[in-house]
Structure 1
Amino acid sequence: MKTSSDALVNIVIPNWNGKKFLGPCLDSLQSQTFSDFVVTVVDNGSVDNSLELLNNNYSWVRSISFAENRGFSAAVNAGIGQNVYPYVFLLNNDTELDENCLEQLISIAEQYSDYSFFSPKMLNYFHRDILDGAGDGFLRGGVGYRLGTMEADAAIYSTMRHVFGACAGAALYRKEFFDTIGLFDNDFFAYLEDVDINLRANFKGQKCLYVPAAAVYHIGSATSGSKINALTIRLSTRNTFFVLLKNYPLSLFFKYFSQLFLYQFMWFCFVVKKRQFIPYIHGVVQAVRSAHAMRRKHRLLYPEKLRKPISDLDKILKTSEIEVLDSIMRRRRALGKGNGCFNLYKRFFT
């Protein structure tokens, strides 16, 4: 790795009380077959001596520190803002990289100049034959989905292909990507901020390529401590509305009314089942309070003279949703579960 301004890649790692994860993550970077990079850890007010670990054992790592937790978006934006390099690689602290991961990603990025961001193959940290994600898709109800998640790694996920977007837990971006799309939205704080940026990218003609030869091993939900808790429910609920309010023109709200209603109803049933009704209500209230601000952002992001035709947006979103549904149905078949409801949904809505 390098410490000078002539490196090819800036690896940005957000961290909040992740000392126990940082060591293995940084060690895997030291073992890369590709070394033309610098590393920037952005610390969100950790109180677990994360910064001491960096100072004592990883002096080659640059650090930016906040006095308090400003969230994922603010952290990665601070790292991206330091960028004078051709590429930015965003990486969660609870990951390890296969030794040739960066070499594979950069090699493909240099070959495919018409793509502006790239998704590696993400695998379960503890069960490395199980996928954590093979590129990101999008459901028209307003949420992203990591394609292949919880599926056994298989041939279908071993082919490089165009995908809707990338999980910001491990993704390579050209510097020009952020010049065109803008940074992550600090108002999201955490969760779905990459769904928002994937939507913006697609609506502005940017393309993402899935690179299966680049492997990242991911623990998942290590910072929040659980996939289902009051924080994740509140932010996920609120940010789903943020994604829609910020990116959908009014015509898509009308066109997708049935899909939007169905998704929100299923999400409501889920949070009630998990006894998270109060955090859900807090998320809805926060979304309502910020609705005007999000619509203002929509008008700034998509001035009328530059908006894509609705037919183009519909095609992009429908194609991605079909890919997501196929992935979910594959996983359910492997578990011996039925797909009757999903088949009905595909028949009526896709």
Structure 2
Amino acid sequence: MSSATTPKVGVLVLNWNGRQLLEDFAPSWVAHTPDYAELVIIDNGSTDESLSFLQSAYPEVKVLAFEENYGFAEGYNRAIAALDYPYVVLLNSDAALSEGWLDEALQLLETEPELGAVQPKIRALRAPEAFEYAGAAGGYIDALGYPFCRGRLLDTVEVDRGQYDEPSELLWASGACLIVRRSVYLELGGLDTRFFAHQEEIDLCWRMVSRGWRIRLAPSGVVYHLGGGSLSAESPRKVFLNFRNNLLMLYKNLPTPRLYLVLLLRLMLDALAALVYLLQGRGRHAVAVLRAWRGFLILRPHYELPRGNNMRARRTDLPLPLKPYSLLLHYYLLGHRRYSQLP
């Protein structure tokens, strides 16, 4: 890339004490960042050897170093505000790129001005023919607020046989590789910093779609995600964050009176989930669900203003972006394990 050429895309990887992840994944980022893009490592105040490793192994790679750890959401928000690319990619530090992964996504964003975000297909690094849990072929939310993906329903993950390659509108794009129009990201205020981790990209995308922006899959691009780099699926902390943040997301984005009906149903279902954890001998997970509701109720007063802003900005001529059915009913009672089996 010529020094006189301004890159169209910033490929942003947030790092915090990820020296080993940099060693494992940076070769793929450097090899597959196209000429029209620029790779930027955002360092969140690392105290390990991350910065010295980058300086030694990849001196040509741009580094934006913060003096402290701002966390996932605030780290990206600060970086995207400071870096002036028309389009930015929020790429997880445990994701590997492949040849041509960005080409179709950029073409879609360049030719369809109503698109706010795009994602490639997300496959599992350890099972490269299978979709990866956190994104697969793009995401939706059911009538009760449960997120799911084309290619992944709850804990069932499909092999990618091209079954979801057709053009399709999404409700949310995966934060493992979220390709977004920078102006839209800034217009929406970026990621919600109070979420800390998990579902903040779904909240961002819901706000995007509610304002009339569209989200698409770019199926010719593939990114391979390791997953679980920050918190294991078995972590009670992860259970807490997923349940709490999902409730906060519903409170921020779901109009009245639908909101209170959904919250009532969720209270019953989440209590059932806690009971199931308890019967399985996973008491810490059961407590995490109860703590999630407590955390939601504590934070709810802080969300009156964001909720009001979202309701005022919402395009009332658009239908609610939620699917009109219950994922739990289809999965557990009807035995539907694939997205193609849903209505």
Q: TM-score range by the shorter chain?
A: 0.7 to 0.9
Offset, 1:205: 0.9
1:143–1:195 Cα contact (<8 Å) kept: no
Instruction: Give the whole-Å Cα distance in 1 for the aligned partners of 2:137 and 2:43.
Output: 28
Name the CA shift for 1:270/1:197 in 2 (closer, same or farther; >3 Å): farther
Asked whether 1:242 is paired with 2:236, we answer no
For residue 322 of structure 2, what is the amino acid of its counterpart? L
Residue 235 of structure 2 is aligned to residue 229 of structure 1: yes
Q: Note if 1:55 corresponds to 2:55.
A: yes
Q: Which residue of 1 aligns with 2:182?
A: 175
**Cα distance, 1:33–1:93 mapped onto 2, change above 3 Å:** closer
Unpaired runs of at least 5, structure 1: 330-337, 344-349
Cα distance in 1 for residues equivalent to 2:2 and 2:18: 23
1:266 and 1:36 mapped to 2: Cα distance?
50
Q: Deviations over 1:279-337 (max 9, x none)?
A: 3333222211111111221112322xx4444x8443x2126x67x679x85xxxxxxxx
| Mapping for residues 249-328 of structure 1, pairs under 5 Å | 249-256=255-262, 259-261=265-267, 263-269=269-275, 271-272=277-278, 273=280, 274-275=282-283, 276-303=285-312, 306-309=313-316, 312-314=318-320, 316-318=321-323
Correspondence 1:186 to 2:214: no
| Structure 2 letter corresponding to 1:148 | G
SS of residue paired to 2:169: strand
Unaligned residue ranges in structure 2 (runs of 5+)? 338-342
- TM-score normalised to structure 2 length: 0.85
What residue in structure 2 maps to residue 137 of structure 1?
140
CA shift in 2, pair 1:23/1:113, >3 Å: farther
Asked if 1:211 corresponds to 2:214, the answer is no
**Aligned-pair distance for 1:257?**
5.3
Amino acid at match of 2:151: G
Contact 2:170 2:217 in 1 (8 A): yes
Question: For residues 98 and 270 of structure 1, what CA distance do their matches in structure 2 show?
Answer: 40
CA drift of 1:218 comes to 0.3
Q: Which SS does the other structure have where 1:221 is aligned?
A: coil
1:262–1:5 distance in 2 versus 1, CA, 3 Å: farther
Q: Point out the structure with the larger helix share.
A: 1
Per-residue deviation, 1:258: 6.4
Quick check: 246-255 or 193-202, which moved more? 246-255
Q: In 2, are the aligned partners of 1:3 and 1:38 still within 8 Å (CA)? A: no
Is 1:156 matched with 2:163?
A: yes
Q: Percent identity?
A: 23
Sort the Cα spacing of 1:259 and 1:253 in 2 relative to 1 into closer, same or farther, 3 A.
same
Runs of 4+ deviating beyond 4 Å: 1-5
Distance in 2 between the 1:299 and 1:235 partners? 23
1:236-282 Cα deviation digits (max 9, x unpaired): 22212211121122212245356534542454345434332333333
Q: Which amino acid aligns with 2:72?
A: F
C-alpha distance in 2 between matches for 1:195 and 1:65: 27
| Alpha-carbon contact 2:270-2:289 (below 8 Å) kept | no
Question: Are 1:125 and 1:217, in contact at CA under 8 Å, matched by a contact in 2?
Answer: yes
Instruction: Return the offset for 1:22.
Output: 1.9
> Which stretch has the larger CA shift, 40-49 or 185-194?
40-49
- Give the drift of 1:204: 0.8
User: 1:38 and 1:201 mapped to 2: Cα distance?
Assistant: 25
The secondary structure found in structure 2 opposite 1:43 is strand
